[in-house]
Amino acid sequence: MPFNSLAFALFFLALLVPWALVPPGRRWAVLLVGSYAFCALGQPSAVAFLAAATVYAHAIAIRMAHAPGSLGRRALLWVGVAGILGLLLLTKYLDFLLSSAHAAIGAFAHLEVYRPLAWIVPLGISFYSLRLIGYLLDVAKGRTAAERHLGVFAGYVAFFPELLAGPIDRAGGLIPQLRAPESFVEARVARGLTRFAWGLFKKVVIADRLSLFVDPVYADPTSFRGVSLIVASVFFAFQIFCDFSGYSDMAIGVGEVLGFQLAKNFDRPYHSESISEFWRRWHMTFSSWLRDYVFLPLAYSSARWAEERSLLGIRLREEYWSYAVATMGTMLLGGLWHGASWTFVAWGGLIGSYMVFSRFTKKIRSRWVRAAGLHRVPRLRAVLRVVSVFVLMDVAWVFFRARTLRDALYVLTHLLDGTGPYVARLATTGISGFSDRAVLQPLLLGHSLGEFATAVGAIALLEGVHFLDCRGGLYARLMARPAAIRFGLYYALVLLILAFGVFEARTFIYAQF
């Protein structure tokens, strides 16, 4: 049940009635029933997996809380994490593992054609698995107390605004709110509805409109070349951002209406000046989860391993070795989490390679910057860094969007086909060249000039809002304006959604993971 649907609007309105009537201390029950209804309406079979994983993790956490020593807690932790990971591997990755093994063996022996397993990945399992694993690790480390009330804990795991695509709030931050959510406050409800509307705008006006240009190209990339591939790839960078951050804004907005303060998930990632900064500002709850539960343990263990060791006769430097191992391990795992496909593994591996290369060449690049005199023009340097990060991420997004590695490699190797003559032609004709159909055709990808201009204008509006919010507090500044200005902007946003939104049934990209 996507947020951008009439079904969700009716569901949420129906939920608000008992939510308003029930005392705050009992609202966890309304939320629990509503969250399981939300899951059942989306995929009835997923309810059993959600309930089983919840009861299992709850029982393990309670046992850990009563375990007499650290050895017992550690054993229970391994059992708990293995159980959740086993369920995730079985439901999401078994077909990928079997098909990969079949392809590897088939390279040396004749095998029958592999037949994919005919089952559907349970709704939300990628997200609530991370939530449960993080919870078990926090309980084992003493960072979070084990929640004894099964109903409250089940409401946390199944929390419907975050079930499909996050944010991934930690138990220590959300469970206390579930026990005593705030009552309706007009200012907070208005803020939540505004946040929801902005997320809806990003989804239906920008992301879904850009998908009209992107989808045909990536469905059959060999039919396109050069400028068309560049346009589709750049548009996808904004599509994936607006689709996912739009969902997060809508989820946070729904939470605010109900009285919850949910974690921020995006912070203008395309304004980042390094790949590491981009990753910290993109899907922030997921990147912080990977940092705390994967990267740091890997870094500590690999640093200890590197002590007094050498590789090919070269003494290992602990800080470089640990960073490289932890970064590549984390990003490969992060890529695989997104989907059971080698394209996602390549996407994660490429971003990890960017980070490692950046860390290892930091001193050399600093010398180049000083030699070029860029240290004397920090604003120009910042712009160049932002542009370079966007280009590098756009290359990585090709692997994320492509159906196969072969398609991704085709796109990357044909991006510049014919672009030289195309740019030279524009340089000689100027803006008048856009009246030539031969010039417009590669840009429009089969759409009208008006549709293309609408897509570009929507991106420009998005970046304009990001620029105004570069110092934060944009909403607070908006609320300080007179009511006439505020409501004028609200109506303008609604009119833009109604006038330019694409209201076909298009699911959120991250909800598919």
Which phi and psi (to 5°) does residue 241 adopt? -65, -50
CA 26, distance to chain mean position in Å, is: 32
State the DSSP code for 68.
S
- H helix or E strand, kind and range, residue 108: none
Among residues 198, 209, 126, 150, which one has the least CA distance to residue 29? 150
β-pairing, 310-311 with 314-315? antiparallel
Q: At what angle do helices 150-158 and 125-141 cross, to 10 degrees?
A: 130
Question: Pick the catalytic residue: 338, 375, 414, 447?
Answer: 338
State the DSSP code for 311.
E
End-to-end CA distance of the chain: 15
The residues facing 310 across adjacent strands are 315
Alpha-carbon distance of 39 to 28, in angstroms, equals: 16
- List the helix and strand counts (H, then E) for the chain: 25, 2
Among residues 224, 282, 237, which one has the least CA distance to residue 442? 224
- H helix or E strand, kind and range, residue 310: strand 310-311
Q: What's the chain's Rg over C-alpha atoms?
A: 25
Alpha-carbon distance of 311 to 187, in angstroms, equals: 60
Alpha-carbon distance of 215 to 211, in angstroms, equals: 5
- Alpha-carbon distance values, 50 to 394, 511, 513 (Å): 35, 15, 15
350 burial via Cβ count (<10 Å: 0-12, 13-18, 19+)? buried
Q: Which amino acid is it at 237? A: A
- H helix or E strand, kind and range, residue 205: none
Other CB atoms within 10 A of residue 94 CB:
14
* SS3 at position 469: coil
The residues facing 314 across adjacent strands are 311
The pair of three-digit structure tokens given for residue 305, joined into one six-digit string: 């391993």
The pair of three-digit structure tokens given for residue 508, joined into one six-digit string: 């959120």
The residues facing 194 across adjacent strands are none
Concerning whether 271 is annotated as a catalytic residue, the answer is no
Catalytic residues, by residue number, are: 338
